[in-house]
Structure 1
Amino acid sequence: MSGLVSPDDAVLAIVGDDAVHRVQGLPGESGPVGLTLALGRLRALGVGALRVALPAPGHPLGLSGPPEFNARALQAEEAVVCHGAALGLVPEVYEAGPEGDVHAEVVWHVLPVREAPPADVPSLGEAERELAEALREATQVLSRLDVAGSGPVAEAAIDAYRARAERGRAQDVLAPGYPPRAARVLEMAQRVGLLVSLAYEGGHGGAVSASEMAARGAALRPVERTARRAQVAAYNSVVEEREKGVR
């Protein structure tokens, strides 16, 4: 939206492996439109950037209301909020195609949003400090729950993460215009998220009873929240710096 990449490149990055993305409810359009047209129309409406929201039950991360938009975003566990126009987009993902050739299609529903600061989004500096502590906590929880002791399973997951991280660097996981610190914060947040996933999924350690599983969840939820907050801070850092007059 800021003009640093072409619309076609932006669409390719958004679509990824999905087959089709359409936008429903765009002002001035009577029906769904393609993503390229939608991005151009949003820019014409004054949208200069898009903020990411990653809400979860009890944590409306990145949202600003109203309740109708927040409810849809919480159900999807993700949303995009426009900077420069009081609009937000919530994705609806569904499968299409015949058996054996099923693919994902996405409809982005455009809804009005409240023009207010997004909920619970830290600065990059705050996110980086919080992540350093969260990484220590996640490692301690893994060790205490004996999840790290699952050996090859944990090692394979960490190796896969490292491979994805290397591929991400080669392909520029963040679009042009982001501060270098944002990429560092995003990478660390993804690493913390991986460790949390290992702790939730590891079934070869000592946490096997219902009470132990509950204790695992209680210990990891704050760490997982910190990682999500940091991801949102990284993705939205261009907008935040622009608002502060840095760019």
Structure 2
Amino acid sequence: MFTEPRSGRLAAWGNALLAGNVSPDDAALAIVSEDAVHRIEGLPGEEGPVGLTLALGRLRALGATGYRVAMPTAGHPLGLSGPPEFNARALEAEEAVTVFGVALGLVPELYEAGPEGDLHREVVWHCLPVREAPPADVPSLGEAERELAEALREATAVLSGLDVAGGGPAAEAAIDAYRARAEAGAGELLAPGYPARAVRVLELARRVGLLVSVAYEHGPGGAVSASEMAARGEALRPVERVARRAQVAAYNAYVEERERRG
């Protein structure tokens, strides 16, 4: 199921803070969301981890003008620009934030404690140097939107071919749960100040991600053989890749718009 990456929240609300659209406390609250606390360690000029509000202010003082998201997976360094140490940490976490203007990157590490259903989650963001270069394989919003429209058709066709689309109570329950969350979070896909097209692209990426999740998790009658799973993965992997690229493009739209305007 599609989930909002922590790097997406930090980039979106960090950008809104830089633009003066939200207060530091509101930005920090939105970034932390349902976690207990977020800290950033390794900031230049700071000893040990510091709180999120202080850290965002410190990054701004260092020259931060925007935040980008990276969502790399094995064989796909999406949004990364190096060096190898940062790329390796980001790949392990499958997400990261790069700070535009100061050549720094942030990689989250999650700590959990407590029983299931009452987990206490803390996040430490590790601050590391990054290479100032264009991020890998990130499309423009226009490209992402066109690719997603095609991916949505492909995902629907794959689901139909697997007899999954709309079939079975488990798949229907997954779709209903997604719709309920989407309605509850309407208008909160991105932070204030993002272009409407970025919101539209992110919502479409969520829809594609939902279809991919349903296809992976709910086979005909709940029974899926190893060969069926392999065929399903091969068919859906390109669709999943497009959805991830679109997510990154949407979160990065603030910085891309600033660059375009010069």
TM-score bracket, normalised by the shorter chain, equals over 0.9
Offset at 1:106? Answer: 0.4
Aligned to 2:217: 201
Q: Percent identical across equivalent pairs? A: 80
Superposed displacement of residue 97, structure 1:
5.2
- 1:120 matched to 2:137? The reply is yes
Describe the superposition over 1:210-229 as per-residue Cα deviations: whole angstroms up to 9, x where unpaired.
22211110000000000000
**How far apart in 1 are the matches of 2:252 and 2:29?**
20
Q: Deviations over 1:179-213 (max 9, x none)?
A: 10111100000000010000111133597222221
CA distance, structure 2, for counterparts of residue 72 and residue 214 of structure 1:
28
User: SS in structure 2 opposite 1:148?
Assistant: coil
In the alignment, which residue of structure 2 is the partner of 1:147? Answer: 164
Alignment pair present for 1:15 and 2:32: yes
Distance of aligned partners of 1:176 and 1:149 in 2 relative to their CA distance in 1, 3 Å threshold: closer
Secondary structure of the corresponding residue to residue 195 of structure 1: helix
Q: What stretches of structure 1 of length at least 5 have no aligned partner?
A: none
- 1:30 is displaced (CA, Å) by 1.2
Whether the 8 Å CA contact 1:147–1:206 is kept in 2: the answer is no
- Select between 101-110 and 187-196 the one with higher mean Cα deviation: 101-110
Residue 78 of structure 1 deviates from its aligned partner by 0.6
Shift of 1:3: 2.1
Give the count of matched residue pairs: 245
Q: What's the CA shift for 1:2?
A: 2.6
Is 2:162–2:220's contact at 8 Å kept on the other side of the alignment?
no
Residues 115-144 of structure 1: CA deviation (Å, up to 9, x unaligned): 000010000000000000000000011111
2:146 aligned residue (129, 136, 146): 129
* TM-score, normalised with respect to structure 1: 0.94
- Structure 2 counterpart SS, 1:107: strand
- Aligned residue identity for 1:223: V
Equivalent runs, 1:204-223 vs 2, <5 Å: 204-205=220-221, 208-223=224-239
When the two chains are superposed, the root-mean-square deviation of aligned CA atoms in Å is 1.7
Whether 2:160 is the aligned partner of 1:182: answer: no
Letter of the aligned partner of 1:76 in structure 2? A
What residue is the counterpart of 2:97 in the other structure? Answer: 80
Residues 207 and 213 in structure 1, CA contact (< 8 A), matched pair in contact too:
no
Structure 1 CA distance, aligned partners of 2:71 and 2:223?
29
Secondary structure at the aligned position of 1:23 is classed as strand
Deviation at 1:156, TM superposition (A): 1.9
Residue type of the alignment partner of 1:78: E
SS at match of 2:107: strand
Counterpart residue type for residue 160 of structure 2: S
For residues 49-97 of structure 1, give each alpha carbon's deviation from its aligned partner in whole angstroms, at most 9, with x where no partner exists. 1111111111111111011100000000110000111000000001135
Q: Give the letter for the 1:83 counterpart.
A: F
Gaps of 5+ in 2: 1-17
| SS class of match (1:27) | coil
| Cα distance in structure 1, aligned partners of 2:224 and 2:175 | 22
Which residue identity lines up with residue 123 of structure 2 in the other structure? V
The 1:99–1:175 alpha-carbon spacing in structure 2 relative to 1, beyond 3 Å, is closer
Q: How has the CA–CA distance of structure 1 residues 122 and 205 changed in structure 2, closer, same or farther, with 3 Å as cutoff?
A: farther
User: What letter corresponds to residue 86 of structure 1 in structure 2?
Assistant: A
- Does the residue aligned with 2:220 lie in a helix, a strand or coil? coil
List aligned pairs for 1:53-132, cutoff 5 A: 53-96=70-113, 102-132=119-149
